[in-house]
A and B are shown apart, each in its own frame.
Chain A
Amino acid sequence: MPANEWLLITVGAILVNNIVLSRILGICPFLGVSKKIKTALGMGGAVVFVMGIASFVTACLYHGLLSAKLNLTIGSFQIKNLDMSFTRILVFIVVIAALVQIVEILLQKFSPALYGALGIYLPLITTNCAVLGAAQLNADSGRSILASTVYGICSGIGFSLALLLFSSLRERLELSRIPKAFQGMSIALITAGILALAFMGFSGLVK
């Protein structure tokens, strides 16, 4: 792939088609852990980590197994050109959930420091739609395994960026006088909408 293709994937995933603000995926953690910048950063780090690994593993599975048009022979049964790509939603979600579990156990054992920083956020991402969404988008656009991994990591960075911006805004909101009717989640949702509008400014940057 030429260099500008990689740039396209990176900029596209982080800014133009931001997974939260443009594709509207992963809204639950976006609203849930955005009250403080510190937790937002922890969550962002965990998402980059998990999305990278999950994109890699699901892309391997997709290319190697699901869409590989295998020829199977079980006893007297013969199946030719077996295309299992229609099961990918089911497969991806189960694989991602199991993967995060395993990664969590391994982290706890081998890197307690990293576990301490990301640990509490990892279970939150096991069935996160943004992670599944990144895997699906990779399969849809037929990216190679390496390109899928890069796309996954960049989508994670895009998610962290959106979360960081939003949590800084919410920390400011915390200190301002807000009319009673708008306090709490309603002003947060309005802010999220305006932030998404602002990100619309990037559309057209990458075609």
Chain B
Amino acid sequence: MTNILIAAAVLALLGLVLGILIGYTAKRFAVEADPRIEEITELLPGANCGGCGYAGCADFAKEIVENDANISSCSACSEENFKKIAEILGKEAGNREKQVAVVYCSGDNHKAKRLARYNGLNDCRAAAALSGGGKTCRFGCIGLGSCARRCQFGAIEIRNGLAIVHPELCEGCGNCIDICPRKLIRLVPATSKIHVYCNSLEKGPVKRKACEAACIACKKCVRAVPDSFNAQGFLVRVTEDSNLTEETIREIACPTGALDTVAHHTAANSGKEGAA
């Protein structure tokens, strides 16, 4: 019985002493912090993607308050929270254009020819340094998913050896861009919905042999709508100010399917078709 009493007394006393001690230290040595930093941290997405160029959302919030960092460098923040942050700071919200990443390749394992079986480290950069992976095309997606592992929003999917960006999940932080050894990924405004999914600078016939989905520079699209396309050598790009529609794309009917809408490209490559 005495033991129980002793234990209770010791713990009660200890709790009291330590409680007072912690309370005192917390008050005496408190670090003053701007309350706005916490509020803004709450409003930021909290993914710590680093797309803004700072070490994480909390660090970014601190920079916004203390060093007047630009709020719009956060691409993942929702429009509503963005306005609230501007309100806290007493600033104009300004306009932000949402950007999404696009992988300029459509050569999955069925369409792109194989040169070899790659059996090394499961990482695109390692494959690029070693021999360039298994596909014949030296420009296309290696498909080992370095970008997908880097993406914090789960927006990149690897299907049949091809990276597909799901635009509804992509927040445009740009983390995937510099990890791709082939420099296939670019940020584009979310409003541009039509792309030529090929990045090969080889000559048309060489590309044709390497991949069924390459842009072979037949210029069918350029002849149909000259203003909307920009042909450089053996590669055609959709110009930024083009106003192509899905119907026009269907009319043009790109013979290899490299010219495609984002919706169709995503659906076709990540849907059931690809299962093999």
**What CA separation (Å) do A82 and B3 show in the bound complex?**
10
Q: Which of A91, A98, A102, A108 interacts with B10 by CB under 8 Å?
A: A91
Provide the main secondary structure of the chain B interface.
helix
A98-B22, A175-B122 are known contacts. Are A86 and B14 too (CB-CB below 8 A)? no
A91-B14, A98-B21, A106-B29 are known contacts. Are A82 and B121 too (CB-CB below 8 A)? no
Chain B nearest Cβ from A118, distance in angstroms = 16
**What CA separation (Å) do A19 and B7 show in the bound complex?**
29
Report yes or no: B6 in contact with A95, Cβ–Cβ below 8 A: no
Report yes or no: A94 in contact with B15, Cβ–Cβ below 8 A: yes
- Which A residues lie within 8 Å of B7 (CB)? 84, 86-87, 90
- Which A residues lie within 8 Å of B6 (CB)? 82, 84, 87
B123 CB within 8 Å of chain A:
yes
A101 CB within 8 Å of chain B:
yes
- Which A residues lie within 8 Å of B29 (CB)? 105-106, 108-110
Report yes or no: A102 in contact with B25, Cβ–Cβ below 8 A: yes
Report yes or no: B126 in contact with A175, Cβ–Cβ below 8 A: yes
How many chain A residues touch B (Cβ–Cβ < 8 Å)?
19
When each residue 1-31 of chain B gets 1 if its CB lies under 8 Å from chain A and 0 otherwise, what string results?
A: 0010011001100110010011001100111
Residue numbers of A with Cβ under 8 A of B are: 82, 84, 86-87, 90-91, 94-95, 98, 101-102, 105-106, 108-110, 175-177
Q: Which of B14, B30, B31, B123 interacts with A95 by CB under 8 Å?
A: B14
**What CA separation (Å) do A94 and B14 show in the bound complex?**
8
- Which B residues lie within 8 Å of A101 (CB)? 22
Chain B nearest Cβ from A144, distance in angstroms = 23
Chain A nearest Cβ from B164, distance in angstroms = 21
Q: Which of B11, B21, B26, B123 interacts with A87 by CB under 8 Å?
A: B11
**What CA separation (Å) do A177 and B21 show in the bound complex?**
52
- Apart from A98-B22, A176-B121, what 20 extra A-B contacts exist at CB < 8 Å? A82-B6, A84-B10, A86-B3, A86-B7, A87-B6, A87-B10, A87-B11, A90-B7, A90-B11, A91-B10, A91-B14, A94-B15, A94-B18, A95-B14, A95-B18, A106-B25, A108-B31, A109-B29, A175-B121, A175-B126
